[in-house]
Structure 1
Amino acid sequence: MLSSMDLVFVTREGCGLCEKAERALWTLGIPYVRRDVDQDPELFRLYTFRVPVLLLGDRVLLEGIFDERSLRELAERLQRGGGA
């Protein structure tokens, strides 16, 4: 799965899509660092209208609507050596 990677989950308070995506991360037991787009000027500049966003370094893995299924699919692609 994605558990060995350092993932950053970009979110904002009151975002329903963000809450759904975060529940999927919790359910699958995927560790991540949570960052609020409204508290970080650089993230705000890049992702203000794109949250939720799941990052690995500077690479956007998922954004917008994502759930357990899309997280599993992402993990499979990454394990096969494919891109996100």
Structure 2
Amino acid sequence: MNEPRVTLYGRAGCHLCEEARAVIEGVCAELGESFAEVDIDTDAVLAERFTEEVPVTFVDGRQHDFWRVDPDRLRAALRT
């Protein structure tokens, strides 16, 4: 299986993270992609970097969105 193209950085108990996960799951399923999820609270560097922006979405290793995930914008990024 290929490396996931989408990474979701978030934290437990974050309602925006739950909403972002649902969008990412749906778009990835639709396009046959996979995604990885990272809890920023398990890494001090990530927690410091992203604490005010979670959820943060990366596509192909580059930051794509934070706070909210737009499904059309994510689809477009994954089609390139």
TM-score range (shorter-chain normalised) is 0.7 to 0.9
- Quick one: distance in 1 between partners of 2:36 and 2:24? 11
For residue 55 of structure 2, what is the aligned residue in structure 1? 52
- Quick one: distance in 2 between partners of 1:38 and 1:5? 21
Structure 2: runs of 5 or more not aligned: none
Structure 1: runs of 5 or more not aligned: none
Structure 2 contact 4–36 (Cα < 8 Å) conserved = no
Secondary structure of the 1:61 match is strand
- Quick one: distance in 2 between partners of 1:13 and 1:63? 16
TM-score, structure 1 normalization: 0.72
Secondary structure of the 2:12 match is coil
How big is the alpha-carbon RMSD for the aligned residues of Structure 1 and Structure 2? 2.0
Displacement of 1:14 = 0.3
- CA deviations 1:30-78 (Å, max 9, x no partner) are 4211100101122112101100010132x21010122xxx122233256
Secondary structure of the 2:71 match is helix
Cα distance, 1:15–1:40 mapped onto 2, change above 3 Å: same
For residue 71 of structure 1, what is the aligned residue in structure 2? 71
Where has structure 1 moved over 4 Å in runs of 4 or more?
none
Displacement of 1:22 = 0.4
